[in-house]
Amino acid sequence: MNYLGLEKNKLTTLAAELNDLLANYQLYYQNLRNFHWNVSGPHFFDLHREFEDLYVDARVKIDDIAERLLTLRFRPLSNLTEYLDRAKVEEAGQVNEDREMVRIVLQNHQELIACMRRVLDAAGKVDDEGTIDMIGSFLENLEKRSWMLDAWAARKREPAMA
Ligand SMILES: [Fe+2]
């Protein structure tokens, strides 16, 4: 029994899921930086700002996830090699088209949401209400941001330039 009243040997699966989420968030974060820097075209101001909002938010959540692991007395993955090895979110590389950037962000959100649901499932099995509360709020927030991006992507295509 640890100082939180949780049995460490029962938390191993939950800790692995939290580390998966951390790794995926790190890749997602860097994809957002990439898109923030490299977006161009008629939607530059909207998307440059939107990607920044998302990465600022992701940075806070990355820290919260890592510190939740420490609170549970586990080690958060802390280097890039481990993140690349573990994450399902992929590095975006060079993307030129703004719609494609938004599509990739939405796809990254799907990976994160799936990962969060696995965390919630594992936390539920050990009655870890602290993690459930934290990740539940992350999940709701990410679902809402996904809806907004999806609404943006659903706009009509601009007529082709003459
Ligand atoms: Fe910037």
Residue 107 CA, ligand 1 centroid: distance in Å: 23
Domain of residue 107: give its range.
8-153
As given in the structure block, the two tokens for residue 102 are 């938004």
Residue 138 lies in a domain: yes
At 66, is the secondary structure helix, strand, or coil? helix
More confident residue, 9 or 41: 41
Q: Is the pLDDT of residue 157 over 70?
A: no
pLDDT in tens, 111-140: 999 999 999 999 999 999 999 999 999 999
Q: Is the pLDDT of residue 6 over 60?
A: yes
As given in the structure block, the two tokens for residue 74 are 């586990």
CA dist list (Å): 162 to 41, 42, 159 = 16, 15, 9
Rounded CA-CA distance 71/65 in Å is 10
More confident residue, 156 or 38: 38
Q: Indicate the average pLDDT of the chain.
A: 94
Residue 161 lies in a domain: no
Residue 9 CA, ligand 1 centroid: distance in Å: 43
Residue 33 lies in a domain: yes
For the residues 71-81, what does the mean pLDDT come to? 97
CATH number at residue 37: 1.20.1260.10
Rounded CA-CA distance 6/92 in Å is 38
Residue 139 lies in a domain: yes
**What is the number of structural domains in the chain?**
1
Contact indicator for 66, 132 with CB cutoff of 8 Å: no
Residue 144 CA, ligand 1 centroid: distance in Å: 23
The answer to whether the pTM exceeds 0.75 is: yes
Report pLDDT for 2. 74
